[in-house]
């Protein structure tokens, strides 16, 4: 259900990038590399990857703020980082927030579908389960603005009873974050915080993803917003790099967030795999029913 609707959501993006020669060069490169998707489908997967990674970066920025500003966390830090990142997005440009959160939720749905029944490892993990993270974020979104975000709640089949509680839950969360962030907002006239945006060289395998993230200025935009919005006592950095594994994390000893190019590659292929699966399902659904055996 979610899969079919996400395709519809992607249509405006496709329309805005047609004709074919306006696709990102990486779309042609990655379509050829995989061999099972068209450049147009690779462009959709790249857009989803970019938005998904943008959410991950916001989540890690949430960890950075919690630790650098020594914010109180009255619950699990992973859940707090999710709620802070969702809030930072909601407070920004609404179209941008919609697309970024929509891709994050699509990623969690795919993660849930691939993960199967959670065993002890996942239940004991500090992160909530993927679908729980999705529902909590959607609850914040419709609590903040039901008109904008209800289509995403509909795709997730968000139960009506929870929807009704979301405005109250969102208001409580927003007031709580406002209270702890307020002393750390940069006063007008005070120098901006120092937030370095650093792009380290990718290797051959991750170059297409790294170059797209860099061309679109993902880390640079986040660093500029962070420097402008908050007074952060020490210099901090947002770093795009190869890590040797697909992940992203805040590194307290070095006051920086590492965003691993391998995670962008993993994200791209996750969305591309789903696009292929959906295309195959749609083709099978169009096949005529076989004649009954005599």
Residues contributing to the site for Zn ion (CB under 5 A): 78, 81
Comparing CB distances to Zn ion, the nearer of 61 and 173 is 61
Buried b (16+ CB within 10 A) or exposed e, 59-74: bbbbbbbbbbeebeee
Comparing CB distances to Zn ion, the nearer of 14 and 69 is 69
CB of 248 to Zn ion, least distance (A): 8
CB of 101 to Zn ion, least distance (A): 16
What is the spatial distance between Cα 246 and Cα 248, in angstroms, rounded to a whole number?
Answer: 7
CB of 76 to Zn ion, least distance (A): 10
CB of 44 to Zn ion, least distance (A): 27
Neighbours of 34 (CB within 10 A): 16
Comparing CB distances to Zn ion, the nearer of 78 and 113 is 78
CB of 82 to Zn ion, least distance (A): 8
Comparing CB distances to Zn ion, the nearer of 6 and 56 is 56
Comparing CB distances to Zn ion, the nearer of 85 and 103 is 85
CB of 78 to Zn ion, least distance (A): 5
Distances from the Cα of 198 to the Cα of 220, 222, 260, angstroms: 8, 12, 12
Strands in 248-251's sheet, in edge-to-edge order, are 195-199, 236-241, 256-260, 248-251
Strands 236-241 and 248-251: unpaired
Comparing CB distances to Zn ion, the nearer of 37 and 53 is 53
Residue 199, φ and ψ in degrees, nearest 5:
-115, 110
Non-local (6+) Cβ contacts of 175 within 8 A are none
CB of 86 to Zn ion, least distance (A): 13
Comparing CB distances to Zn ion, the nearer of 66 and 138 is 66
CB of 151 to Zn ion, least distance (A): 27
Comparing CB distances to Zn ion, the nearer of 95 and 126 is 126
């Amino acid at each position: 259900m979610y899969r079919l609707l996400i395709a519809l959501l992607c249509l405006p993006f496709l329309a805005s990038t047609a004709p074919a020669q306006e696709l990102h060069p990486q779309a042609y490169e990655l379509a050829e590399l995989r061999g099972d998707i068209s450049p147009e489908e690779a462009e959709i997967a790249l857009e989803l990857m970019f938005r998904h990674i943008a959410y991950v970066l916001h989540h890690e920025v949430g960890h950075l703020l919690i630790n650098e500003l020594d914010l109180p966390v009255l619950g699990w830090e992973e859940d707090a980082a999710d709620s802070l990142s969702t809030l930072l997005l909601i407070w920004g440009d609404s179209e941008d927030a919609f697309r970024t959160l929509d891709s994050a939720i699509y990623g969690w749905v795919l993660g849930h579908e691939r993960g199967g029944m959670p065993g002890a490892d996942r239940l004991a993990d500090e992160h909530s389960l993927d679908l729980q993270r999705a529902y909590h974020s959607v609850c914040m979104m419709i609590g903040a603005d039901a008109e904008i975000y209800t289509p995403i709640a509909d795709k997730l089949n968000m139960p009506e009873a929870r929807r009704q509680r979301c405005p109250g839950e969102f208001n409580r969360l927003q007031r709580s974050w406002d209270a702890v962030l307020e002393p750390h907002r940069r006063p007008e006239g005070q120098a901006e915080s120092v937030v370095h945006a650093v792009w380290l060289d990718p290797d051959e395998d991750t170059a297409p993803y790294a170059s797209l993230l860099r061309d679109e200025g993902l880390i640079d935009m986040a660093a500029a917003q962070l420097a402008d919005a908050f007074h952060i006592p020490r210099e901090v950095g947002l770093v795009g790099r190869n890590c040797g594994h697909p992940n992203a994390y805040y590194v307290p000893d070095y006051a920086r967030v590492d965003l691993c190019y391998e995670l962008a590659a993993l994200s791209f292929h996750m969305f591309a795999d789903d696009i292929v699966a959906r295309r195959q399902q749609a083709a099978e659904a169009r096949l005529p029913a076989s004649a009954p055996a005599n």
